[in-house]
């Protein structure tokens, strides 16, 4: 069963297609890029997971679009959400 979806070779975040438990093995190939890792933590259905390690300020890219920036160090396989990513899409 496919557990993650990503649409662009530029993506460094994928979307969970089902709940992912800590330690679950995740594999994904998109546009020739292959990712394989164990989930660092639980990731709910529909939420984002890190495909790479992030440093504070790094861009988070989903579906080929910059959607935000990491606010702290994030390990590959971690849940990406408001606790560690600030949106670039906030309208002020």
CA 42/CA 18 separation, integer angstroms? 11
Give the contacts of 56 (CB within 8 A, at least 6 positions apart): 69, 70, 71, 72, 73
User: Which residues lie below 8 Å from residue 91, measured CB to CB, with a gap of 6+?
Assistant: none
Give the C-alpha separation, 69 to 4, whole Å. 21
Q: Is the pLDDT of residue 17 over 80?
A: yes
In the chain, DSSP finds a helix count (H) and a strand count (E) of 0, 9
Q: With pLDDT > 90 as the criterion, what percentage of the chain qualifies?
A: 90
pTM here is: 0.92
Mean pLDDT of 37-54: 97
Q: Give the model's pLDDT for residue 88.
A: 79
pLDDT of residue 2: 74
pLDDT of 92 strictly over 60:
no
pLDDT for residue 91 is more than 90: no
Domains of the chain, first to last: 4-87 (2.30.130.110)
């Amino acid at each position: 069963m496919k557990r993650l979806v990503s649409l662009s070779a530029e993506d460094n975040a994928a979307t969970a297609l089902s709940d992912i438990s800590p330690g679950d093995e995740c594999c994904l190939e998109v546009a020739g890029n292959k990712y394989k890792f164990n989930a660092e933590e639980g990731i709910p259905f529909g939420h984002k997971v890190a495909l790479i390690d992030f440093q504070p300020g790094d861009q988070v890219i989903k579906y080929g679009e910059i959607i935000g920036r990491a606010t702290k160090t994030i390990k590959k396989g971690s849940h990406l959400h408001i606790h560690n990513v600030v949106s670039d899409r906030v309208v002020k």
